């Protein structure tokens, strides 16, 4: 299976189908929409729609807000549909500011006026808000979905799938990968091979499967389709491609954290800045996640979907509390450092890096699960077994 070319077709996007499948609303629940803007005051009279840089937020308005107001609320038995903007955080999964602005330009408090008064919140933003909203959902009792980086490809594929099917396939892979002792990843860069070993401690694997039903406060990260772990330790080396300028660095990992970055290709100043941050705030280098994609999806150009593609994987640095880990924002030297940053490895994203092999040790046996960004028969057999069964009616 080619991990970048989906073999499936997708039905047209349907807001009602998405919200029904993900949330199974019972009727009467109040739904709201959150977006992020450089100046939240541009919410007044939808002034932000005149700014071309806000394509993500435009989808929030045109597809979700208008979709709800123009019949969606009545069809789903929901109330609300209002939009609110907060100041853009500038980083992945940083805590959200409290100030918000509504569609009339009125300033509100998220913690006083929004979180306690909505049953379902949809966050469609530039930067992921999954980690902070997961903590806030537990505090205030709402459910929600984060859909950062939205574009047309995501709407027409990753948000148009049947999430009952996604959940079932993610569970099949989770069961086949759970209670792993460790995972080793061999990375190739030029003529060199580097290996990162992640200790998993026999933990139960978790899944991001897109279903957020019932009354339990929770946040679905959409598009979904992932099996993941919070490592209990790690050592070795791995390449990291810096988002800011494409510089390629080599990370040295000891006791679960990146302790040093070295230049492989690109700008030395980029690596120097990373080393300075590691020295000032060592927990920024903590490896807080290993994630494996489970879906057959097209490349969207946004990591939120592309990391869910079968054959790709990601490791993440930073906070892990939303995944069941112990690294919380208060343990960082500065609030602006308390992000959770996914490092995606995929053919389109890291063509300079080959993934010769990904191995997992489970129940005394080592299984090769990915080779050269392709799932091995170990994974495809797990999927084939569940795909052969009809979905429950």
| CB contact at 8 A, 239 and 187 | yes
Q: Where does the pLDDT of residue 25 fall: very low under 50, low under 70, confident under 90, or very high at 90 and above?
A: very high
- Position 7 scores a pLDDT of 62
Here the tokens at position 45 are: 């009279």
| pLDDT over 50 at 344, yes or no | yes
- Position 63 scores a pLDDT of 98
- Position 2 scores a pLDDT of 42
Q: Which CATH class is domain 15-156?
A: alpha beta
| pLDDT over 60 at 179, yes or no | yes
Handedness of CA 151, 171, 228, 328 (dihedral sign): positive
| CB contact at 8 A, 68 and 15 | yes
Q: Which residues lie closer than 8 Å to 356 by C-beta, 6 or more apart?
A: 186, 187, 188, 193, 371, 372
| Nearest of 200, 206, 34 to residue 127 by alpha carbon | 34
pLDDT digit string (tens) for 32-74? Answer: 999 999 999 999 999 999 999 999 999 999 999 999 999 999 9
| pLDDT over 80 at 4, yes or no | no
pLDDT digit string (tens) for 226-236? Answer: 999 999 999 99
Mean pLDDT calculated for residue range 303-331: 96
- Position 1 scores a pLDDT of 38
| pLDDT over 80 at 391, yes or no | no
* CA distances (Å), origin 333, targets 64, 224, 278, 337, 340: 38, 31, 11, 7, 15
pLDDT digit string (tens) for 143-167? Answer: 999 999 999 999 999 999 999 999 9
| pLDDT over 90 at 239, yes or no | yes
- Position 393 scores a pLDDT of 55
Q: Where does the pLDDT of residue 178 fall: very low under 50, low under 70, confident under 90, or very high at 90 and above?
A: very high
Q: For the chain, what is the mean pLDDT?
A: 95
Domain boundaries, the chain: 15-156, 163-387
- Position 8 scores a pLDDT of 78
Q: Where does the pLDDT of residue 5 fall: very low under 50, low under 70, confident under 90, or very high at 90 and above?
A: low
Q: Residue 277, class by beta-carbon neighbours within 10 Å (0-12 exposed, 13-18 middle, 19+ buried)?
A: middle
- Position 388 scores a pLDDT of 72
pLDDT digit string (tens) for 213-225? Answer: 998 999 999 999 9
């Amino acid at each position: 299976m080619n991990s970048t070319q989906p073999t499936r077709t997708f039905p047209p996007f349907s807001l009602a189908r998405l919200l029904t499948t993900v949330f199974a609303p019972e009727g009467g629940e109040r739904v709201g929409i959150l977006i992020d803007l450089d100046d939240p005051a541009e919410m007044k009279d939808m002034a932000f729609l005149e700014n071309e840089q806000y394509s993500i937020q435009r989808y929030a308005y045109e597809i979700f807000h208008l979709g709800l107001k123009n019949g969606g609320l009545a069809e789903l038995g929901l109330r609300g549909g209002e939009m609110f903007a907060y100041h853009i955080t500038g980083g992945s999964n940083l805590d959200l500011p409290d100030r918000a602005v509504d569609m009339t330009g009125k300033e509100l408090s998220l913690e006083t006026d929004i979180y306690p008064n909505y049953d379902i919140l949809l966050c469609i933003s530039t930067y992921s808000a999954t980690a902070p909203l997961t903590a806030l959902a537990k505090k205030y009792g709402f459910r929600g979905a984060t859909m950062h980086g939205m574009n047309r490809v995501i709407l027409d594929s990753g948000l148009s799938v049947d999430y009952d099917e996604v959940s079932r396939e993610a569970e099949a892979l989770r069961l086949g990968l759970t209670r792993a002792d460790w995972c080793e990843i061999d990375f190739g860069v030029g003529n060199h091979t580097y290996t990162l070993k992640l200790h998993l401690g026999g933990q139960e694997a978790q899944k991001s499967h897109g279903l957020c039903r019932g009354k339990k406060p929770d946040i679905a990260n959409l598009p979904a389709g992932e099996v993941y772990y919070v490592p209990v330790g790690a050592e070795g080396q791995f390449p990291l491609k810096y988002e800011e300028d494409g510089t390629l660095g080599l990370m040295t990992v000891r006791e679960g954290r990146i302790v040093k970055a070295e230049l492989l290709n690109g700008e030395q100043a980029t690596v120097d800045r990373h080393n300075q941050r590691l020295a000032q705030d060592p927990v920024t280098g903590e490896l807080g996640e290993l994630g494996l994609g489970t879906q057959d999806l097209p490349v969207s150009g946004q990591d939120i979907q592309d990391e869910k593609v079968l054959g790709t994987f990601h490791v993440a640095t930073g906070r892990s509390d939303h995944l069941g880990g112990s690294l919380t924002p208060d343990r960082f030297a500065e609030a602006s450092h308390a992000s959770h940053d996914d490092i995606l490895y995929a053919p389109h994203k890291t063509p300079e890096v080959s993934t010769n092999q990904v191995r997992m040790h489970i129940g005394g046996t080592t299984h090769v699960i990915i080779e050269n960004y392709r799932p091995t028969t170990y994974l495809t057999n797990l999927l084939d077994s569940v795909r052969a069964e009809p979905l429950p009616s």
